Amino acid sequence: MTQMTRVRASSYALAAALLAGLAVPAAAAAAPHAPTGHGPASSHGRIPFTAATVTAHDNGSYTVEWKAPGLRHVAVRANGRTVASGGSAGRVTVRGLPAADRQWFDLVPERGGSLHLADRLIRLQGAVNFRDAGGYRTADGHWVKMGEIYRSDALDKLTPADLAKLRRLSVTTVFDLRMESERAAAPDRVPAGATHVVADVLAGSPTFTAMPATAAEAEAMMVDGEKFMVSGATAKKAYRTVFSGIGDDSARGVVFHCTAGKDRTGWANAALLTALGVPRSTVMADYLASNDYRAEANAAALASMPAAQAAVYKPLLDVRPAYLNSGFQEISETFGSFGAYEKQALGLDAKDVRALKRDLLVG
């Protein structure tokens, strides 16, 4: 199989394998919140937290965890009141909060800047991988704001309640990374007033017709597909459109999505987080999280196939370190550095990157 044939096959596999609802071969809440991570105390000096997360649970409780070396006291605030506290490292469970579209917490240290956080996942009836792009710490100690940029799987199954929630969360721009055939088969549903922008990464072609015959070939297709997302002409054009929108303050909150929210979307977020200075290990963890969010849907898809077919199909449904690493390797081989990739492929010069950091980072 030639490189071009493999890229074409990979493009087809990415599109065909990840249709909404994971189509397989025939053989087989209340309180609104401003759409911004500008928390009440997010700009009061250097943020001392080295790690922090919020996890929502099905029973309505929340787990809030943090690490802030050198501190003696951290207050956890929600809805204007202190709901828990701890020391330099803590893990608390918060119960009894009123229902909300998205529950926000402020981690307020005894000194330094606070963090304004929520669970990364936006719980929707019609999507399983709609999550915040932010909430991560950069290598130099800043934090990526939450509530500004989102990543998602397909939006065609969003319910009226989902659309109302996204409107209350002030989603204003949706970038659709899918091929024309995907868009035609499963048109996006977007919140009232939101702008829908097509940014077709793979720019579908009738020549994308070959499916893998073995698991190894499937994995190779995904690796080559990731490389195409970095250096393919249509991919560069699509991601340039997305990053132009992200850089437009009036366009936020921004959602970019494909069908499963893991490959084309995964690269978009990996590139964004890297541009903002998030360490590669964190970028990888965010990328691999699609395996967790999509676990139930992927398992159902594989269970519907004969075992031999499922073994071939599984690499198409997974995200794996080798896939993302191949994208960064393609940057090194084709552009020489990530900075060169930003400029030549994404259309971002040093001034643009500084503006992104100024707008999307706190601390």
Strand ranges in 1-103 using DSSP code E only, listed in sequence order:
51-56, 62-67, 74-78, 81-86, 89-94
The model carries a pTM of: 0.89
Q: What is the pLDDT of residues 92-128, one digit of tens each?
A: 999 999 999 999 999 999 999 999 999 999 999 999 9
Percent of the chain with pLDDT over 70: 85
**What is the identity of the amino acid at 323?**
Y
Where b means 16+ CB within 10 Å and e means fewer, 274-310 reads bbbbbeeebbbebbbbbeebbeebbeebbeebeeeeb
- For the chain, how far is it from start to end, CA to CA, in angstroms? 49
Annotated active-site residue 94? The verdict is: no
What is the per-residue pLDDT for 251?
57
Which residue in 18, 258, 276, 324 is the catalytic one?
258
Q: Which of 115, 142, 134 is nearest to 277 (CA)?
A: 142
Tell me what the mean pLDDT of segment 1-26 comes to.
42
Which residues lie across from 238 on neighbouring strands?
Answer: none
Q: Are 105 and 40 in contact (CB under 8 A)?
A: no
Which residues lie across from 276 on neighbouring strands?
Answer: none
Q: What is the pLDDT of residues 20-57, one digit of tens each?
A: 334 444 333 333 333 344 444 344 579 999 999 999 99
The answer, yes or no, to whether the previous bond of 253 is cis (omega within 30 of 0) is yes
